[in-house]
Amino acid sequence: MLSVTNLNSGYGKFHVLFDINIECGKSEIVSVIGPNGSGKTTLLNTIFGLADIFSGSIIFEGKKLNNMPPHEISKIGIAYLPQANNVFADLSVRENLLMAGYPLNSQELKSAMDDVFSIFPTLKSFLHRKAGTLSGGERQMLAIAMTLMRKPRLIMLDEPLSGLAPVICQKIIEKIVELRDKLGVGIVLVEQNAKKALDISDKTYLIVSGKNIFSGKPDELLRYGELVELYLGLKAEGK
């Protein structure tokens, strides 16, 4: 579904990613992990047209995304949940969902909101509250709900668990798995919390300093002791 091939990208003169290759298909959770500053967010930004591509290609369902502006990319079936500032704080919850479903007409909007409420029923209770007044967990729920408004086939999540209490994290992880299993969505998950990400991924990519130094199944990665310890701070499984 999504193929990133030999991607070199960055911001202006700043070269961040070097020859990155990523694949994500339907009903698949692909995790992108690595230390801070390796370029994980840049990868997601690049796919969504928010960074500069120096060479390489990004293809989604046969369409080349290389020079598309973000608001066009959002219409072809990909959704993006940024790490910070992922809701419109000054707008109400209802307005947030309205914006997330911007290209939809009123009928599609209604049905999308109904679907979203069935996955996140608590959102209904604070429809008219300003998004900035929600708690961290509630805000994250709203942010994820927003990504679902246009029924994307691929969702990119940038550190959805950061700054959240473990109980909420668990809930969100369950929702993410639910999305893959029930809706057949492909998910690209960038996560600082490598253990949790690896637990639910079908495939993983380890990115360090802009370079892809491992790609494959999570349990394969966990066997590479030094990598895991050095970059992820995890204990290797047997040596």
List of residues contacting another protein (CB under 8 A): 12, 48, 50, 69-71, 73-75, 80, 82, 85-91, 95, 98-100, 102-103, 146, 150
Cβ pair 44, 37 in contact under 8 A: no
- Residue 55 CA to residue 10 CA, distance in Å, equals 10
Pick the closer one to another protein by CB: 87 or 116. Answer: 87
Other CB atoms closer than 10 Å to residue 116's CB: what's the count?
A: 24
Closest separation in Å from C-beta 74 to another protein: 4
Closest distance to another protein from the beta carbon of 68 (Å):
11
Q: How far is the CB of 101 from another protein (least distance, A)?
A: 8
CA separation for the pair 235, 203 (Å, rounded): 19
Amino acid at 1: M
Q: Which residues contact 139 (CB under 8 A, 6 or more apart)?
A: 86, 87, 131
For another protein, the closer of residues 88 and 224 by Cβ is 88
C-beta of 155: minimal distance to another protein in Å? 12
In order, the DSSP letters of 169-196 are HHHHHHHHHHHHHHH--EEEEE-S-HHH
For another protein, the closer CB: 94 or 175: 94
If the CB atoms of residues 17 and 73 are measured against another protein, the closer one turns out to be 73
Measured from the CB of residue 144, what is the shortest distance to another protein in angstroms? 14
CB nearer to another protein: give 127 or 236.
127
Interatomic CA distance for residues 36 and 31, integer angstroms: 15
